[in-house]
Structure 1
Amino acid sequence: MDYALVPSIANEALEKWSRLRPATLGQAARIPGINPADISALHIYLVSRKAT
């Protein structure tokens, strides 16, 4: 997945997710330095992508 397509995420989250490549939203949330707003933005992006 290209995390750069997720709107409104912090650069730190983008770098960490791109490097670590979490398989689930839960794994993405447990990475140190990831804030709740980034998880929410990722979740909304994934749900909207699934609906199309």
Structure 2
Amino acid sequence: MASYDGKVEVVRVLLDGGADATVKDDRGGTPLLLAIEEGHEDIAKLLLAY
């Protein structure tokens, strides 16, 4: 949800804490896909760096 909502710092904290950047939701969406769909380029770049 942080990727979808555009919460960059939350995404960063989660990733730094070991969160899986490739996890899928119940519809098969990943944090990267959600960030792109919502136009959050900064989050997409952050996710691609992990």
TM-score normalised to the size of structure 2? 0.33
- Structure number with greater Rg is 1
TM-score normalised to the size of structure 1? 0.32
